[in-house]
Amino acid sequence: MPWFYAKNKQQIGPVEDSEFDALVAAGTILPTDLVWQPGQPEWLPLAKVRAAVPEVLTPPSLPAAASPGAPAAAPTTAAPLRAEPLKGVAGWLLLFCVWLTIIGPLIRLFEWSSLLPYLLRGSVTMTLPLGLSLGVGLLMTVLSIVVGVLIWSGRPDGRRLAQLYLQIRAGVFAVMFAFNFLSLLLFRGMELYVLGRYVFNLLLEVAFLVIWWRYFQVSKRVQATYGEPGARG
């Protein structure tokens, strides 16, 4: 649609849209100049016909040169990134939970299946220690699963639960080992194979208890998750 515009009280036009836009962009037609195109009832300033054309911004002045005697500004260095502390149930703490809830019970199940024949065909003096061991082992397995699930769920008292569990486990194992060893000495009803398994289990149990007790004392992840040793919560 053709445009007409007024300059110095003279009508100029018609000009096409592309040429009109070029004149506006070049500053030839100012926002205060009167313009008209078919359909307008009268001549109007360009600013009322179109959106106001933004003024051309001049570039900012260059910064003043530093005087010869002025000290140079010290360069700024970004602060070094700090690594996030190990926190939460992951790593070795996660392995502990997996051991209590999955690996440990599977090992118990394998041991029970291997001792079951001795329990079924053994004498009373042999059946009593084995039956008692299996019963106590079942209770400890249930306890380990419960403790493992609670720690795994992210409870704030996870370290206290773990240490309490290790203490109970150490006490129960010590009592059961002493009972089974006395049964062997008094009744001689336990075969050498079974005794060997008890001694082997004793060594494994001591290593398990010492390693994990020490872990819950010095682990950075445990400290970041539950606080310093002795802290509540």
- Residue-range domain boundaries for the chain: 3-49, 91-226
What does the pLDDT average to over 45-70?
52
| Residue 14, both tokens | 């018609």
Q: What is the pLDDT of residue 94?
A: 93
Give the model's confidence band at 116: pLDDT under 50 very low, under 70 low, under 90 confident, else very high: low
* Across 60-64, 164-168, 192-196, 207-211, least confident range: 60-64
Average confidence score pLDDT of the chain: 77
- Distances in whole angstroms, Cα of residue 55 to Cα of each of 17, 26, 28, 30, 52: 21, 11, 13, 11, 9
Question: What is the identity of the amino acid at 193?
Answer: Y
Residues pairing with 12 in the sheet: 5
Q: What is the pTM of this model?
A: 0.55
What does the pLDDT average to over 17-30?
88
Q: How far apart are CA 70 and CA 66, in angstroms?
A: 6
Type and span of the H or E element at 7: strand 3-7
216 CB burial (10 A radius; 0-12, 13-18, 19+): buried
Give the model's confidence band at 153: pLDDT under 50 very low, under 70 low, under 90 confident, else very high: very high
